[in-house]
């Protein structure tokens, strides 16, 4: 979707910056910058904002051959962001009746071409409408049957649906999910007992057939749970500028490590590193690093690269 970013409170007017947004797009850009081949499947409107989305993805070396331009008059989705208190940002969504809400299995299944290693999905897409939810389930089912790793980032958005609606839709996806990613407050949305503690909830998810559960803890880092054990990683310490997109940046780094065959500690390390780049710069994806920039955090403060 497109994104309009305000410099202050929207009700006071002022200038807006135009860019693109979307959790899946953020992860796609993050992976492409880290040198991986990435394909984006979805639906945009036959409008200038849709053209902006596709142009931006192509400029980031992302394959958009399976992107569909909706010719029925549905517009490209839009969000508005406004800074309120420090790094606290308020987001308003305009996605009802959007092209993305009408994405269908026929739009996304052809993208699962031979050689695909990971299918990345989020809980945002099924919140957009019945067709989008059907597309997510169909893609996850087909990918798992084809031996493709299915990554599901819960990414709960309370302005799109209720927690009960999310649980009803997301819980069945676990049967087709290889890697589940969630924040601490999102984990209860994929278990039968919402009041279960983290340890009990992760055991329930692993018992449902998921191989790996990753819990994002914001400024406290992240934890990976598997049947073999638990691995923690602290966050990188940076001066936070903009927290929006940090979770997507972490996912991009973690999946990059997985694609490179790295072990879990190395995946977590790359995840918290890419997340640190995101929070230290403005924008959802603009500050994401290239592969050769990953080592910049290991340079002393005040270093100038010449």
Active site residues: 248
CA pair distance 210, 172, nearest whole angstrom: 12
The bridge status of strand 179-183 relative to strand 212-216 is parallel
CB contact at 8 A, 110 and 66: yes
Q: DSSP characters for 60-129? A: TT-B-TTEEEE-SSPPPPEEEEEEEETTEEEEEEE-TT-TGGG--HHHHGGG--TT--EEEEESSGGGG-
CB contact at 8 A, 20 and 56: yes
CA pair distance 203, 213, nearest whole angstrom: 9
SS3 label, residue 37: coil
CB count, 10 Å around CB of 305? 6
Q: Spell out where the chain has E strands.
A: 2-6, 16-20, 42-45, 67-70, 78-85, 88-94, 118-122, 149-153, 179-183, 212-216, 222-226, 229-233
CB contact at 8 A, 64 and 40: yes
CA pair distance 47, 54, nearest whole angstrom: 11
């Amino acid at each position: 979707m497109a994104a309009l970013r305000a410099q202050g409170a929207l009700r006071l007017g002022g200038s807006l910056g135009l860019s693109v947004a979307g959790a899946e797009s953020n992860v796609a850009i993050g992976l492409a910058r880290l040198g991986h081949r990435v394909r984006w499947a979805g639906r945009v409107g036959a409008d200038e904002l849709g053209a902006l989305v596709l142009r931006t993805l192509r400029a980031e070396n992302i394959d958009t051959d399976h992107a569909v331009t909706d010719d029925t008059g549905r517009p490209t989705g839009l969000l508005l962001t406004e800074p309120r208190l420090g790094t606290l940002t308020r987001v308003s969504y305009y996605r009802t009746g959007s092209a993305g809400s009408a994405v269908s299995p026929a739009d996304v299944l052809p993208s699962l071409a031979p050689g695909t290693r990971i299918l990345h999905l989020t809980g945002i897409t099924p919140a957009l409408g019945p067709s989008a939810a059907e597309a997510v389930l169909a893609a996850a089912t087909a990918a798992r049957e084809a031996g493709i790793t299915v990554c599901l980032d819960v990414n709960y958005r309370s302005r799109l649906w209720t927690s009960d609606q999310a649980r009803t839709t997301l819980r069945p996806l676990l049967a087709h999910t290889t890697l589940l990613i969630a924040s601490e407050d999102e984990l209860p949305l994929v278990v039968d007992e919402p009041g279960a503690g983290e340890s009990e909830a992760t055991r329930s998810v692993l018992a449902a057939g998921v191989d790996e559960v990753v819990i994002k803890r914001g400024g406290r880092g992240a934890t990976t749970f598997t049947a073999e054990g638990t691995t923690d990683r602290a966050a990188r310490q940076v001066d936070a500028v903009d927290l929006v997109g940090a979770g997507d940046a972490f996912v991009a780094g973690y999946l990059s490590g997985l694609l490179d065959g790295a072990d879990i500690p190395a995946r977590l390390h790359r995840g918290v590193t890419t997340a640190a780049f995101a929070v230290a710069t403005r924008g959802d994806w603009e500050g994401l690093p290239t592969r050769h920039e990953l080592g910049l955090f290991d340079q002393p403060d005040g270093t100038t690269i010449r």
